[in-house]
Amino acid sequence: MRLALVAVGRLKRGPERDLAEEYRGRADALGRGLGFSAVQMTEIPESRARRAPDRCAEEAGAILAAIPPGAAAVVLDEGGKAVTSLDFAAQVGAWRDGGRPGLAIVIGGADGLDPGVRARADLVFAFGAATLPHGLVRVLAFEQLYRAMTILSGHPYHRGAP
C-alpha cells in the first residue's frame, strides 16, 4: 500500500520538522515489512487569494490532485471524528488487506478545508476539538501512522489498553 501525506504549507526547519521526520523514518522502516511504501510527502503551496473561501477552493484543487487514484483519504480536521489509535490501526489494516492501493493523510491550511476535500474523505479524523499548530499536526500524523504500524506488527511501542 502506497502511503502519502498531503499538507498545505511548508514545515520550516526546527524541532517540529525534526520530530516529524523522526516518526516518518520510523514508519518507513517498519512499514516495509508490513506491505507499506515509504511515506511520500507532498507540500501544497498556500494560496495567495484574498478571501478565505477562495484560498480553500484553490488549495482543494491541489490537494485532490495529490491524492492517488483509489487511495483511502484520511482528512485531519478539528470537526472530525475522535478515533482511538487502535481503531485507526485497524482501519489502516482493513484498507491494506481489502486491496486499497494507497492511503493519503491530508492536512489543510490555516483557513481549513474546502467541503470538496471533506467529501472525498474516507475518514475525517480529529486529534481533538482544539485548533493545533500545523507543525504539531504533522508530527502527530506521522506518529499515529507509525503507531498504527506498531500495532499491526505487534511491536511493543503501543502499550495502551487493548
Binding residues for S-adenosyl-L-methionine: 76, 108
Angle between the N-to-C axes of helices 134-153 and 15-31, in degrees from 0 to 180, rounded to the nearest 10: 20
User: How many helices and strands, by DSSP H and E, does the chain display?
Assistant: 5, 5
Residue ranges of the annotated binding site are 76, 108
Cα–Cα distances in angstroms (integers) from residue 5 to residues 52, 74, 79, in the given order: 23, 9, 19
Distance CA 18, CA 22 (A): 6
